[in-house]
Amino acid sequence: MPAHWGLTVTPSGHLACDSVSLASLRETWGSPLHVVLARRLRENASEFLAVNGVGRTRAEVYYSYKSNPVPGVLQLLHGLGVGAEVISEYELWLALKLGVPANRIVFNGPAKSTAAIHDAVARDLLLLNVNHREEIDVVAAAARALGKRPRIGIRVAASAGWSGQFGLSIGQGEAFTAIKQVHESGVLQLTAIHCHVGGMLRSAQQVLGYVGEVLALADRVRSDLGVELAILDFGGSLATPTVAGISEFDRRLSIAFQAPIPAPVPDATISIREYVRCVVEKVETHYAATAKQCPRIFFEPGRAMTGNAQVLITSVLSLNASDPKPGWAILDAGINLAESARSEFHHILPASRMHAERALRYRLAGPICSPGDVLSWSALLPELAIGDALAIMDAGAYFVPFATSFSFPRPAIVMVDGSDVHLLRHAETFEHIIALDRVEQPPANEKRQALQ
């Protein structure tokens, strides 16, 4: 099982990355603790970048900053040839601060401010994907004011997947209308179709469905407008093989009867390489049939790139002995740090007792004073003792950005790279939590006594 994450187990039963015990890292860096697995991160990136289509099309990869905006993680990915996908002024600022050139940045999202659009146009970003029709006029106004011709993509919604506030429907014709509007603006370069379907894709069949819809729309753009799109951007959404959504039915069974939540079968999810290959081959084949040059193919992975490259180590703070055994174990990390665990199954492993028989079903609660702070109602573990370390797996996407300082400061983030362990982010201190507050000086001692 640890091999799914590129981890091993030491003879003494410790979950280890390149022979570094994850539980032992608490001695230096404290608990809870995020541990980034550099080797897994490099492997994931090279899987995304490795595919060469028959027509020698190589996919381009723009990491979705929102899913794990930790500078040390982002810089490692950028060093491997991965660009940046950003959705806010802050993320754009961060990408530029980390040295990502403007022509390696894709700007998305439904909430671009006018200032952010001006900034993006002024900097000649690689691609600005318009989310809804109203944005087109704002981008065009910025382009005129700045004397630029920005490269524009249109975010589309396919027949399955996210729609609502995200993009324009292909089926209802909104996407084509917006594409035409961009083309006729006179100041915008119609460059791309952008389709991020959302959710967790697991099969080639799911992927090929929306790729086919995008290709049909690109054909219509050619035939009706005479424009050959330079880029097809297929967004993210490939699942992490060891993570799955929890159905309401399973959640209720688990709460009522401690029934185990079914773990996903890792092989049931296509690999990163298969996913990239199936998209690249489909696009290449389609363009070969029309004798047109294959466009550039973009991916914007979040969870598939970093999800399984990070582990959240947590410690058992107390055990509730009043309940029938095994009862509750209270941990120093809960939904304050692992919000996704409310709706997703994540493996939770006994990080320092991997050889022990896992025969007991625990309810695992976090430290927050809320009945909702439950990481698992039915975690299969060995008999726990106070201080034991547990590893919450696949913590590398949507854990860090959703984390809060609810009653407890957020933890440090370290990276294990071979035998080297280095700090990526300091643990938050109490002072950090109130750093932006105006704190009045408390009254001097005598006054305080008088008040009492």
The least distance separating ligand PLP from the CB of residue 129, rounded to whole angstroms, comes to: 8
DSSP 54: T
Residue 396 burial (CB count, 10 A)? 30
Query: Both tokens of residue 132?
Result: 């809804």
- 150 in contact with ligand PLP (CB under 6 A): no
> Counting beta carbons within 10 angstroms of the beta carbon of residue 402, is it exposed (0 to 12), middle (13 to 18) or buried (19 or more)?
middle
For ligand PLP, the closer of residues 394 and 417 by Cβ is 394
Query: CA-CA distance, 82 to 76, in Å (whole number)?
Result: 9
- 237 in contact with ligand PLP (CB under 6 A): yes
Out of 57, 64, 242, 315, which residue is the one contacting ligand PLP (CB under 6 A)?
Answer: 64
Distance in Å from the first CA to the final CA of the chain? 60
Angle at 192 between CA 126 and CA 114, to 5 degrees: 60
For ligand PLP, the closer of residues 304 and 379 by Cβ is 304
- 108 in contact with ligand PLP (CB under 6 A): yes
- 218 in contact with ligand PLP (CB under 6 A): no
- 67 in contact with ligand PLP (CB under 6 A): yes
The piece of 41-49, 72-80, 231-239, 355-363 that touches ligand PLP (CB under 6 A) is 231-239
- 85 in contact with ligand PLP (CB under 6 A): yes
In a 3-state reduction of DSSP, which class is residue 115? Answer: helix
Residue 449 burial (CB count, 10 A)? 9
For ligand PLP, the closer of residues 118 and 155 by Cβ is 155
The least distance separating ligand PLP from the CB of residue 151, rounded to whole angstroms, comes to: 16
Residues near 327 by beta carbon (within 8 Å), at least 6 away in sequence:
319, 320, 321, 362, 363
For ligand PLP, the closer of residues 136 and 304 by Cβ is 304
Residues near 97 by beta carbon (within 8 Å), at least 6 away in sequence:
none
CA 5 to chain CA centroid, nearest Å: 16
> Counting beta carbons within 10 angstroms of the beta carbon of residue 133, is it exposed (0 to 12), middle (13 to 18) or buried (19 or more)?
middle
The piece of 133-141, 173-181, 300-308, 438-446 that touches ligand PLP (CB under 6 A) is 300-308
- 397 in contact with ligand PLP (CB under 6 A): yes
- 344 in contact with ligand PLP (CB under 6 A): no
Out of 32, 235, 366, 411, which residue is the one contacting ligand PLP (CB under 6 A)?
Answer: 235
Query: CA-CA distance, 15 to 390, in Å (whole number)?
Result: 10
- 395 in contact with ligand PLP (CB under 6 A): no
Out of 83, 153, 161, 236, which residue is the one contacting ligand PLP (CB under 6 A)?
Answer: 236
Residue carrying structure tokens 């185990």? 260
For ligand PLP, the closer of residues 85 and 119 by Cβ is 85
The least distance separating ligand PLP from the CB of residue 21, rounded to whole angstroms, comes to: 29
The least distance separating ligand PLP from the CB of residue 14, rounded to whole angstroms, comes to: 30
Q: Yes or no: say if 21 and 352 are a contact pair by the CB < 8 Å rule.
A: yes
The least distance separating ligand PLP from the CB of residue 200, rounded to whole angstroms, comes to: 7
Residue carrying structure tokens 């004011």? 145
Q: Which residues bind ligand PLP (CB under 6 A)?
A: 64, 67, 85, 108, 196, 235-237, 300-304, 397
